[in-house]
Amino acid sequence: MKLEYLPAGKIVNTHGFRGTVKLESWCDAPQILASLDTVWFCKNKEYTPRRVLHASVFKQFVLMDLEGVESEEAANALRGTEVFAAREDLPIEEGSFFIADLIGLPVKHADTNAILGKLSDVNTSGARDLYVVKNQKGEFYVPAVPEFITNIDPDDAIYVRPIPGLIEGGED
């Protein structure tokens, strides 16, 4: 089941004295988060909207003024809060996927259909994304490039063609 709200960032600090929050963006580009008219907070699995009054990109962060947050104290109280975006508000290119839709998918060998593990995370900090796959023997990493990833079906599995040695002690 696809999530209606997707994790988009985290409030990491305040900025100035008028209630502006500083967000770490988890979107492909911080401009995506800065373009939203509404962000969502989640508490006890209940999502509540917050209207964005103004937002701008500052270095790799997003500075955001939210309705009802009018002081440094109010902004500081939100530090550490995850911010979500409604799926319908986020642009996505044909053939691209939200990471949240891929986490937990089985990872299968493209040639044998053998289950190699489940996708547990996507490391986006390097030049290329790395898929973190966990199985009973531990975890291994698959570069998110066509040479290794042959197909992604968010309703089925991620199909990979590993090279020898990629999966330690496993099938490859």
pLDDT, position 5: 95
Domains defined for the chain, CATH in brackets: 5-88 (2.40.30.60), 99-160 (2.30.30.240)
Residue-wise pLDDT for 98-112, tens only, equals 888 999 999 999 999
Residue-wise pLDDT for 51-78, tens only, equals 999 999 998 899 999 999 999 999 999 9
**166, 139 contact by CB (below 8 A):** no
Element (H, E) at 73: helix 72-77
The CA–CA distances, whole Å, from 16 to 10, 20, 73, 86, 154 equal 18, 7, 11, 28, 42
Nearest to 36 by CA among 46, 51, 17: 51
Supply the mean pLDDT for the chain.
Answer: 91
pLDDT, position 172: 47
pLDDT, position 168: 62
**Residue 163 pLDDT exceeds 90:** no
In 26-169 the beta strands, taken as DSSP E runs, fall at: 38-43, 46-58, 61-66, 82-86, 106-109, 115-123, 130-135, 138-143, 149-153, 157-160
**Residue 1 pLDDT exceeds 80:** no
pLDDT, position 70: 95
pLDDT, position 95: 81
pLDDT, position 125: 78
State the residue for tokens 């911080």. 30
